[in-house]
Amino acid sequence: MDITHIYNGPIGLETRHAGPTDGEVVIMLHGFPECWNTWKHQLPVLAEAGYRVYAPNMRGYGLSSKPDGVDAYHVDQLIKDVDAIRRHSGAKKIHLVGHDWGAIVAWWYALNKPEHLASLSILNVPHPTAFLKVLKSKPSQLLKSWYIFYFQLPFLPELTVPFKQFFFFRNVLARTSNKGSYEQSDYDELLKHWKTPGSLKAMINYYRSAIRSQPKPPNGNTIDTPTQILWGERDLALSLDMAYLSEKYLTNGSLTTYPDATHWLAHDKPDEINQRLLRHFQSYSSR
């Protein structure tokens, strides 16, 4: 696995990549509060299967650029980073995979740039319209999303989250994932990323941007790209009905749920996720 900085104008994206240069291109987007390491189980398997795989640290994470200002983390800006990686790869169409915030960006890319997608794979995050509908109609989901509102406070999250070696982040991951899904090496890698100067503020600015602006898709909410939603039913932050509602916005999509998995599906079910991804890519070739 190699590391390259891929540029979207002045924004540099620290990107792990593997697999043959002539393989179909897969871009994998991590979420909060993780990093490229979300996909440590997927990268070698997909590369071995002949795919050219790119796993960036999203802007603000790791050694990727950390632009100032909340507006720099708007989804309209984040999808430009994805497209910069696509252009760097030379591919006209890609297979796009996203989890958590990476899935939010992947959904938005599909709604704005469907012409560049061969397939879409989403892990444990609803279609943006489904999320808003459930958030507005169910007080229980508002309670589950308390952290989003905490992150709107100025300065306080940046001051409190690093306490005791980022105990808040470590505790959330340990408490909300299956036992053994995260190894000590995972926490070590994440702690290194969390401690990178400027990263925490940038990570929180994703949420600040999301609250301040709720853009509308340019061509409606329906997605025609072949899409699979993979969902751990033991997700403590996002309700399962969001997943079922998301499926209604797909003209060529499927939903697979895992009763014994959590929000951190790529860690909980690595072999199953690898099989699902490969099957989906093979069914909808980018060539």
The model's pLDDT over 50-69, given as tens digits with 9 standing for 90+, comes to 999 999 999 999 999 999 99
Does 244 qualify as catalytic in the annotation? no
Is 51 noted as a catalytic residue in this protein?
Answer: no
Does residue 18 carry a pLDDT above 80?
yes
- In the set 263, 267, 268, 280, the catalytic residue is 263
- Whose tokens are 């990263």? That residue is 199
What pLDDT, on a 0 to 100 scale, did the predictor assign at position 67? 97
Give pLDDT, residue 284.
Answer: 97
Catalytic choice (207, 249, 258, 284)? 207
Residue 24's alpha-carbon distances to 70, 124, 160, in angstroms, are 34, 24, 43
Catalytic residue among 81, 100, 186, 235: 100
Q: Choose which CATH entry (3.40.720.10, 3.40.30.10, 1.10.40.60, 3.40.50.1820) describes domain 2-283.
A: 3.40.50.1820
**Is 263 one of the catalytic residues?**
yes
Examine the pLDDT at 147 and tell me if it is beyond 90. no
pLDDT value at position 102?
Answer: 98
Q: What is the mean pLDDT of the segment spanning 169-180?
A: 95
- Average the pLDDT over 212-217 and give the result: 80
SS3 call for 286? coil
**Domain range summary for the chain, segments of one domain joined by +:** 2-283
Mean pLDDT, residues 169-173: 95
**For the ranges 186-195, 205-214, 261-270, 277-286, which has the lowest average pLDDT?**
205-214
CA pair distance 89, 261, nearest whole angstrom: 33
Taking 90 as the threshold, does the pLDDT of residue 85 lie above it?
A: yes
Q: Are 144 and 237 in contact (CB under 8 A)?
A: yes
- Residue 263, pLDDT > 80, answer yes
Distance CA 270, CA 158 (A): 32
Rounded CA-CA distance 128/115 in Å is: 20
Predicted TM-score (pTM) of this structure:
0.96
Helical H segments across 90-235, by residue range: 101-112, 128-137, 139-144, 146-150, 156-160, 163-176, 184-194, 199-212
